[in-house]
Structure 1
Amino acid sequence: MKIIVCVKQVPDTSGKVAVNPDGTLNRASMQTITNPDDLNAVEAALKLKEETGATVTVITMGPPPAEGMLRELLAMGADDAVLVSAREFGGSDTYATSQILAAAIKRIGLGEDGVVLCGRQAIDGDTAQVGPQIAEKLGLPQVTYVADIHKNGKTFSCKRMLEDGYMTVEVDAPCLLTCIKELNEPRYMSVNGIYKAYSKPLAVFDYEALKDDALVDPATIGLKGSPTNIFKSFTPPKKGAGTMLAGSGKDACAQLADALAEKHYI
């Protein structure tokens, strides 16, 4: 069985968020991490690998430095990696990104019983669109918000999280699943895994490698081919410091009422 995991290198939003004068994110000056939900997808792939003997390929679209992230995932236990990187792909929105990644997945090959795993969404966009769009462009059935996965032959039984409970869905392979943080706890890299990471295959797909695919059309990829563009990004203003009230019960309520009255809120 072939498992392909789509991952993304994103800005570390727990640190400093840098914004250019034109309102775009200055990604070059920000620390990066692997998108958290994508790590849950990687962990799910590695568990399926241990259960079934599958091979795990991690794939990302990004600049050349994203190779470091892929090497970390190889150190976790993935078998090989693919970096999709070209100037022609720069500035792609979710629609254009899914076009390019779908073409790359077709080139890798999924097989009749394979599965594509994605994180639910990326923390730098929070759209949750790329995974489902890849499924549509590859003609694959999809299950989103997956909180549990079991493989039975060529069928995957998935527990899908809803706002008010869970839904159990069975889907035939090949398929695409998007994973949420409740699915598992991602493992750490092992010392032996780190040692082996740089001997594992890592391929680079540039524009020349994918241009013959119908999905990689200059009119539908990159900044020019993206239907949506970010108008402006900004750092939210800091909230004022809160006030802790001593005591409890009537005393605290009295203090709160006095504070609100002093500010003419009541």
Structure 2
Amino acid sequence: MNIFVCIKQVPDTETKITPNGDGTYIETSSIKWIMNPYDEFAVEQALLTKQANSGSTVTVVRVGGVKDTEALRTALAMGADDAILVESDDNLDSFMTAKALKGAIEKSGKTPDVIFTGKQAIDDDCLQVPQLLAGMLNLPSVSVVVGCEETGGTFTLKREVEGGALEVYEVKSPAVIACNKGLNTPRYASLPGIMKAKRKPLAQHSLADVGVSDADRRVKYSGFQLPPEKPAGKKFDAMDEANQASIVAEVVGLLRNEAKVI
């Protein structure tokens, strides 16, 4: 099987984010980047599918800046066979990203039997790229997947829906599967895996190479700004029992009229 995994490199959740000078994106020069957490489940499921199908290969694909390839190297260290990087700015919209992924997969020369992705990226939370990619490739797609079994090229997928219920789908390959937390337990990269990752193939393409131009942009970003600072909290001294009733009344009044939470 030709197995592809689409991953995204996102800011570490503990990184302090600041807008760039013109407010069109965030300042990226000092950010620590990690693999999008939902994509870790996609990589693991790809590796499990490879193990169950002798002779399969796993190719990871990423669209983004070339300055740091940490996410791709992590996936290679986990056990992926090769990687593709489409060099671009990090502020592409979902349509451009999906089209770049499609072009990179087609340029690889391998026909995909299955494409795994995370259900969403934790930075923009758009939840659009897997479905857009499936539409562009004319493939069936199932998202928010928490259970995956494959037999003879047919995938039985469990999908979360509101209320805690599960939907069960049977999909024949090729297909796009967007993975959710709980699908599996992503493995840690071993030291030998990390060393091998440095020697595994990593192809690099420009947006033009994969047929994407600025004319494909559907969304333009502007006005990035930090949220307003939270006002200082208020403290009340209720140690004196004689004042407790009036203080409680004051606190309740503030919660109702100022904070508007009751």
Is 1:22–2:13 an aligned residue pair? Answer: no
TM-score computed with the length of structure 1 as normaliser: 0.84
Verify the 8 A CA contact 2:100 2:207 in the aligned structure 1: no
Q: How many residues align?
A: 249
In the aligned structure 1, how far is the partner of 2:44 from the partner of 2:6? 12
Please give the alpha-carbon distance, in whole angstroms, between the structure 1 residues aligned to 2:189 and 2:59.
16
Listed one character per residue, the Cα deviations across residues 142-189 of structure 1 (whole Å, up to 9, x for unaligned) are 111111110011211000111121100011101101111121222111
For 1:244 and 1:11, locate their aligned partners in 2 and report how far apart those are by CA, in whole Å: 35
Shift of the 244–197 alpha-carbon distance from structure 1 to 2, 3 Å rule, reads farther
| 1:94-148 CA-partner distances (Å, limit 9, x unpaired) | 1111111101111224537x10011111111111111111111111111111111
Matched residues in 2 for 1:144 and 1:50: separation?
Answer: 23
Deviation at 1:72, TM superposition (A): 1.6
- 2:45 is aligned to 44
Counterpart Cα distance in 2 of 1:191 and 1:159: 33
Distance 1:262 1:200, change over 3 A: closer
Q: CA deviation at 1:231?
A: 2.0
Give the whole-Å Cα distance in 1 for the aligned partners of 2:228 and 2:97: 31
Aligned pair partner of 1:73 in 46, 56, 75: 75
1:137: which partner in 2?
136
* Matched residue, 1:108: 108
Q: Is this contact kept in 1: 2:34–2:70, CA < 8 A?
A: no
Deviations 1:208-244 (A, max 9, x none): 643xxxxx25xxx33x431111122222234457789
Provide the residue aligned with 1:213 in structure 2: none
Match of 1:234 among 204, 225, 234: 225
Q: Secondary structure at the match of 1:182?
A: coil
**CA pair 125-41 structure 1, distance change in 2 beyond 3 A:** same
Q: Which residue of 2 aligns with 1:169?
A: 169
TM-score, normalisation: structure 2? 0.85
Q: How many percent of aligned residue pairs carry the same amino acid? A: 38
Q: Which runs of 5+ in 1 are unaligned?
A: 211-215, 246-252
Distance 2:141 2:135 in 1: 8
Residues 90, 192 of structure 1: CA spacing in aligned structure 2 closer, same or farther, 3 A cutoff? closer
Tell me the SS of whatever aligns to 1:150.
strand
Partner of 2:205: 205
Root mean square deviation, CA, Å: 2.7
Tell me the secondary structure at the aligned position of residue 101 of structure 2.
Answer: helix
SS in 2 for 1:199: coil
Q: Measure, in 2, the Cα distance between the counterparts of 1:243 and 1:186.
A: 44
1:54-133 correspondence to structure 2 within 5 Å? 54-86=56-88, 91-111=91-111, 114-133=113-132
Q: Is the 8 A contact 2:11 2:33 kept in 1?
A: yes
Quick one: structure 1 residues 260 and 205, their matched pair in 2 at CA, closer, same or farther if it must change by over 3 Å? same
* Paired residue secondary structure (1:230): coil
Contact 1:3 1:110 in 2 (8 A): no
Structure 2, unaligned stretches of length 5 or more? 237-243
